[in-house]
Amino acid sequence: MIWLWYLLISIFTASVANILQRVLMKDEKSDPLSYAIIFQFTFGTFNLLIGLIHGLVLPQLSFHLAFFLLSGILWGFTSLFFFKGLKLIESSESTILLSSRTFITIGAAILFLKETLDLQKIIGVILMLISVFLITELKNGFKLNKGAYFTLIAAFCGGLAIVSDAYNVKYYDPISYSVIMAYLPGIILLLFSPKSIKNFTIVKNITFLRRMIIIGFFFSIQAITYFLSLAKGGTASQVGTINRAEVIITVILAVIFLKERDHLWKKLISAVLVTVGVVLLS
């Protein structure tokens, strides 16, 4: 069960970073592509420092490198479209749409990794998803727009990336893998759009730089503990579903630090549902 403790640490640190990301993207001049690249390199640097302490292991030249590249592409586009969506739609809409990656992860894990899904896990999935929908307050109805489509693409890529990661860490040191998988998506995005480098002057803004460094630090801890949870026994379907508990933690942190205390009873019920869902899935 040590994988679950790693995953819980990953969920908490991701939740802190989520709040900071939402604050960062409120700026009308923010460029999602440049932010995504800077973000990848920032938290990649933190991962590298941890990796140097742990000891880095170079990957072997084999067909597994193709799956490394696949994960890099998927996480690169997940990061890009997440930032693009977050700029255009409310966080509540983004939260619901991103939760759809659970179905992608479970479906792909069953199809490609031959994982099984019994009745207990199905109930756990249902409870987790109910909690996500309950916790999110939709205003003026829910309509699909460009921002929603961007977020759906991010959810699709992220769901597949989790399955690819689960395969990769079976054959490679998870901490060394986290270093590669932080930098590689940023490199891929930079190759995809070299012109975005002209927007890197934003790092001269002290406020932006401070926020991005803090986000990078929390995501570094999140990424390393996430990969460790997969390496220590967590299946792709378990990790992919339980990981959605970050929605609830994000809301709780928003209540504490951002004073968002409306519909508190829904938040409490959702926390209970998530707890039960975690037990069933583990």
For 228-277, how does the pLDDT look when each residue is reduced to its tens digit (9 = 90+)?
998 888 887 788 778 777 777 877 777 777 666 666 676 677 767 776 77
Q: Which two tokens stand for residue 256?
A: 């504490």
Q: Whole-angstrom Cα distance, residue 70 to residue 164?
A: 7
pLDDT in tens, 147-178: 888 988 998 999 899 889 988 888 888 889 99
For residue 172, give the 3-state DSSP assignment: coil
Q: Which two tokens stand for residue 72?
A: 């890099």
* pTM, entire model: 0.80
Q: Whole-angstrom Cα distance, residue 124 to residue 48?
A: 35
**What is the dihedral sign for C-alpha 28, 29, 30, 33?**
positive
Q: Whole-angstrom Cα distance, residue 216 to residue 110?
A: 32
* CB-count exposure of residue 64 (10 Å: 0-12, 13-18, 19+): middle
